[in-house]
Structure 1
Amino acid sequence: MSTVGPQGRGWGRGMRIFLAVDALLVLSLLVLIGVWVAGSGGGAAGGPDDAAATGASTAHPAPGPSGSAAGTAPVSFRMPSGNIACTLSVDGVTCTIASIRFEPPVVAGCTGQTGHVFVLNADGVTVPCVDGAAPSVADETVTTLEYGSSAAVGDYTCTSATDGVSCTGADGTGFRLASGSWSPLP
């Protein structure tokens, strides 16, 4: 029987996941800022006001009607409250939640926090162990996914509702996340 110290596999994997989530969120924010700056010419079809009318995210406008097909560029959004923020890519979905009112899931060997980051990818749903402070509320520079709207990238879709966000893959596997609870789907 071998033991794993702080530099071992268990700790390193959690830190790598945390750093990957952070890097993906920062990259997505930069992409959103670039899209916002490029699209701030005003009044053109496909602008931010079209998201509520079509139910599609406008984080990366594509040729043709908004929401006509799932794109491949990463998309980041926040729920209207800002408490939950998610990033979708062709590799999966990562959602962070700043304030939780549920008992966080137990992750064996975790000495950090759980329950503030949820990941959906080809391996299913995971709740990584994260060292450091809980994420903060997403600021208003992140695109808001209005209630009743969906965002999709590749095989992954997230739908915003007044009772939280639901994110699923093509096979229906995923999670529902709200400040008061989380649950695996289906």
Structure 2
Amino acid sequence: MTSTRAVRIWLAVDVLLVTVLLVLVVVVTSGGSPSTPVASPTASRSTTATAPSTSPVAVRLPSGNISCVVSVDGATCAIASITYDPPAVAGCTGRTGHVIVLDADGVSFPCEKGPAPTVAGKDVQTLSYGGSVTVGDYTCTSATNGATCVDGDGRGFRVARAGWTKIS
């Protein structure tokens, strides 16, 4: 019988691996180097994260429930706990609603396989409430009521435990 603790540890490792995979995909597609430092240890105390215009940045809101990766190619946020009905994605036999993407094609919910993400770990840079991170034309802002990510034209999404909204 699997203990609850073992399941939680497995889920935490899974989320960490998914986050690392997302960062690596962004790094590879943007032509960056995975060894490029994202932030200093003191950056998590700052209200605004900064990075060179081509380096992806992974951040988490202080609660850890929402984490985002922002790059020159877009913004992807994962939310561990949701209370809203996940959107239907045509042809998806997996799960939707826990990951939301903003890129040149607009806002979308990818079809996910496996378990939902868990709360982001302390190893991910914390973006203080009210703080923003911008990479290229994409900006994500942290607030007590969720995360907002927009492109240079102000289009994007707002996501929180209770729901999500498309910003036109």
- TM-score normalised to structure 2 length: 0.77
Task: Please tell me whether Structure 1 or Structure 2 has the larger radius of gyration of its CA atoms.
Answer: 1
Q: Which has the higher contact order (CA 8 A, sep 6+)?
A: 2
Superposition deviation, residue 137 in structure 1 = 0.8
Per residue, is there more strand in 1 or in 2? 2
Match of 1:130 in 2: 112
Match of 2:58 in 1: 76
- Measure the CA separation in 1 of the matches of 2:99 and 2:122: 20
Alignment of structure 1 residues 18-97 onto 2, 5 Å: 23-25=21-23, 39=40, 47-48=42-43, 51-52=46-47, 56-58=48-50, 60=51, 71-97=53-79
Instruction: Note the aligned Cα RMSD (angstroms).
Output: 2.7
Seq. identity, %: 51
**Secondary structure of the corresponding residue to residue 48 of structure 1:** helix
**Secondary structure of the corresponding residue to residue 157 of structure 2:** strand
Superposition deviation, residue 25 in structure 1 = 3.4
**Secondary structure of the corresponding residue to residue 23 of structure 2:** helix
- 1:24–1:139 Cα change, 3 Å: same
- Measure the CA separation in 1 of the matches of 2:25 and 2:159: 23
Determine if the alignment matches structure 1 residue 154 to structure 2 residue 136: yes
Amino acid at match of 1:134: A
- Measure the CA separation in 2 of the matches of 1:50 and 1:80: 10
Superposition deviation, residue 171 in structure 1 = 1.2
- Measure the CA separation in 2 of the matches of 1:106 and 1:137: 23
Match of 1:99 in 2: 81
The count of residues paired between Structure 1 and Structure 2 equals 146
Amino acid at match of 2:46: A
**Secondary structure of the corresponding residue to residue 118 of structure 1:** strand
Match of 2:6 in 1: none
**Secondary structure of the corresponding residue to residue 43 of structure 2:** coil
- Measure the CA separation in 1 of the matches of 2:114 and 2:76: 17
- TM-score normalised to structure 1 length: 0.70
Instruction: Show CA shifts across 1:27-74 (max 9, x none).
Output: 78x9599556xx46xxxxxx426623xxx215x4x6xxxxxxxx2210
| Structure 1 unmatched runs, 5+ | 1-18, 41-46, 63-70
Does structure 2 retain, via aligned residues, the 8 Å contact 1:21–1:94?
Answer: no
- 1:143–1:21 Cα change, 3 Å: closer
- Measure the CA separation in 1 of the matches of 2:24 and 2:126: 16
